[in-house]
Amino acid sequence: MADIKTILAENEKLSHEMLRGNANQIDQARRFPRENLRALGHAGVLGLLIPAQYGGAGAGLAEMSQVLDTQAQNCASTAMVTLMHYCATSVIAAKGSDALKQRLLPACARGENVSTLAFSEAGSGGHFYMPVSEVRESGGRKTLSATKSFVTSAGEADSYVVSARKAGATAPTETNLYVIAKDAPGFSTEGRFEGLGLAGNASAPMSLKDVAIDDATRLGAEGTGFQSMLEVVLPHFQIGVASVSVGLAKAAHQAIVARMGARRYEHAGGAALASIPRVQYLVAEITLAVNSGDAFLRETIRKALAADPAAMLDVLGVKVAAADACLAAVSRAMILGGGWAFGKRGGLERIFRDAQAAAVMAPPSDVLKDFIGKASLGLPLF
């Protein structure tokens, strides 16, 4: 396995060459970025967070953020698939049994087993951490029937970290996480979710019908799934989605700055749009939005790595702040770009659509703001 510095360099190269080159076609065809993942797996990028003993690089949140930021600047669909793989492999590494980790993680590190999360359900909406489905136990056999609403890489990933209430649960937080393989009897996907953006991430409902589960595929002790979500999944997911938003904001900034410098008015003596004060004002607002979102993200990572007691509040807020900054930057870029931006030639229209996802992706911004308000006022979150 290559070292972290080499993996980051390989991700940079693949993002600017391969991911950027494939992005529009993946978006227009709504095609899962299989070829991108194959290359990223070969380069060690998909094993970034997996411990070295299982063939990974053993990196952390800062390196994850860098990878996703760079990927999102070039293909946000690929970045989201990578993020969900990181979330799944991180919780497997943290909570799985030794046997389960030995069986799954080396293949995940090589990209031969793409993993993802399957948490969201219609019955709990944006509160994805509180599933409605429940494990059934009869005659010493455990099964799970559930319909998961929005699963990234649905039907494309090889393994799924699935949430459910434990058998006989008396509270919605009494949950378990299980790893379920794509080829498990009773597993199926139900069409595709035709979203506005992130068209290549294969988001779709997923159905489990009497799928057999056992303690060997459970992550953590019985009834501790909720804690695993808060301790492992939430920081990776929140910081990861924020990194994708920041990457999209940077892409919009780069695209519009280049356009404003290149676009000229013949009737005004060939002056570039960049010479217009109103253009300069809007570009300044875009720059400030990008920098503020990026700064909040970096500070959140610093606090999380330092185990700062204030880190959780920032983890809750970073997805909101980055989404708001991204939407502010991209919407202004669209105004500046005019007809060029609303067409598909420059890529800004795709960036605009992709940017909308973060605010509504569970937990959505309104739910997170509710948590932040409660935490700020010293009230319990749940």
How do residues 289-312 score in pLDDT, each as one tens digit? Answer: 999 999 999 999 999 999 999 999
Q: What is the mean pLDDT of residues 345-361?
A: 93
For residue 381, being part of any structural domain is answered with no
Q: Is the pLDDT score of 113 beyond 80?
A: yes
Residue 216 sits in the same domain as residue 239: no
For residue 93, being part of any structural domain is answered with yes
Residue 219 sits in the same domain as residue 134: yes
Domain boundary, last residue among 67, 98, 113: 113
- Residue 176's CB is within 10 A of a number of other CB atoms, namely 29
Name the residue with higher pLDDT: 18 or 150.
18
**The pLDDT of residue 344:** 81
Helices assigned H by DSSP within the chain: 4-14, 20-29, 34-42, 61-72, 76-95, 98-110, 225-228, 234-262, 277-305, 311-342, 348-355, 357-360, 365-376
For residue 259, being part of any structural domain is answered with yes
The neighbouring-strand residues paired with 179 are: 161
Cα angle 237-55-247, degrees, rounded to a multiple of 5: 35
Q: How many domains does the chain have?
A: 3
**The pLDDT of residue 33:** 98
Q: What is the mean pLDDT of residues 135-158?
A: 94
Kindly report, residue by residue over 80-96, the tens digit of the pLDDT: 999 999 999 999 999 99
Name the residue with higher pLDDT: 21 or 267.
21
Q: Is the pLDDT score of 137 beyond 70?
A: yes
User: Both tokens of residue 86?
Assistant: 């990181």
For residue 125, being part of any structural domain is answered with yes
Terminal CA-to-CA distance of the chain, rounded, Å? 42
What does each C-alpha distance from 214 to 44, 46, 143, 170 come to in angstroms? Answer: 31, 27, 8, 21
Residue 128 sits in the same domain as residue 217: yes
For residue 124, being part of any structural domain is answered with yes
Q: What is the mean pLDDT of residues 137-143?
A: 91
For residue 382, being part of any structural domain is answered with no
379: left (phi over 0), alpha (psi -120 to 50) or beta: beta
User: Both tokens of residue 144?
Assistant: 């799970």
Which of 71-97 are b and which e, b meaning 16 or more Cβ less than 10 Å from the residue's Cβ? bbbbbbbbbbbbbbbbbbbbbbbbbbe
Q: Are 231 and 95 in contact (CB under 8 A)?
A: no
Q: What is the mean pLDDT of residues 262-281?
A: 86
One-letter identity of residue 48:
L
Q: Which of 8-12, 132-136, 181-185, 271-275 has the lowest mean pLDDT?
A: 271-275
Residue 150 sits in the same domain as residue 247: no
Residue 371 sits in the same domain as residue 252: yes
Give me the phi and psi of 264, to 5 degrees please: -130, 150
Q: Which of 99-103, 114-118, 155-159, 265-269 has the lowest mean pLDDT?
A: 265-269
Give me the phi and psi of 141, to 5 degrees please: -110, 135
Q: Is the pLDDT score of 142 beyond 90?
A: yes
Band of pLDDT at residue 21, cut at 50, 70 and 90: very high
Contacts by 19-23, CB closer than 8 A, 24 or more apart:
19/71, 19/74, 19/75, 19/78, 20/74, 20/75, 22/75, 23/74, 23/75, 23/77, 23/78, 23/347, 23/350
Residue 282 sits in the same domain as residue 212: no
Pairing of strands 175-181, 159-165: antiparallel
Residue 96 sits in the same domain as residue 185: no
**The pLDDT of residue 268:** 62
Residue 347 sits in the same domain as residue 240: yes
**Residue 218: closest CA among 256, 265, 266, 164:** 164
Band of pLDDT at residue 129, cut at 50, 70 and 90: confident
Q: Is the pLDDT score of 374 beyond 90?
A: yes
Q: Is the pLDDT score of 193 beyond 90?
A: no
Band of pLDDT at residue 167, cut at 50, 70 and 90: very high
HSE-CB at 137 with a 13 A cutoff on CA atoms is 9
Kindly report, residue by residue over 22-64, the tens digit of the pLDDT: 999 999 999 999 999 999 999 999 999 999 999 999 999 999 9
Helices assigned H by DSSP within 73-173: 76-95, 98-110
Q: Is the pLDDT score of 210 beyond 80?
A: yes
One-letter identity of residue 378:
G
- CATH number for 47: 1.10.540.10
Residue 82 sits in the same domain as residue 208: no
- CATH number for 245: 1.20.140.10
Residue 132 sits in the same domain as residue 187: yes
Q: Is the pLDDT score of 139 beyond 90?
A: no
31: left (phi over 0), alpha (psi -120 to 50) or beta: beta
Percent of the chain with pLDDT over 90: 88
Domain boundary, last residue among 174, 195, 223: 223
Pairing of strands 204-213, 187-189: antiparallel
Structural domain of 275: 226-376
- Residue 231's CB is within 10 A of a number of other CB atoms, namely 14
User: Both tokens of residue 304?
Assistant: 């999380």
For residue 212, being part of any structural domain is answered with yes
Q: What is the mean pLDDT of residues 146-150?
A: 93
Q: Is the pLDDT score of 269 beyond 90?
A: no
Domain boundary, last residue among 62, 89, 113: 113
How far apart CA 40 and CA 47 sit, in angstroms, is: 9
Residue 199 sits in the same domain as residue 304: no
User: Does an H or E element contain 115, and which?
Assistant: strand 115-118
Residue 55 sits in the same domain as residue 82: yes
Q: Which of 26-40, 147-161, 187-201 has the lowest mean pLDDT?
A: 187-201
Name the residue with higher pLDDT: 68 or 194.
68
Calculate the CA dihedral of residues 223, 227, 233, 236 and round it to 10 degrees.
-170
For residue 63, being part of any structural domain is answered with yes
DSSP string, 148-159: EEEETTTTTSSE
**The pLDDT of residue 1:** 59
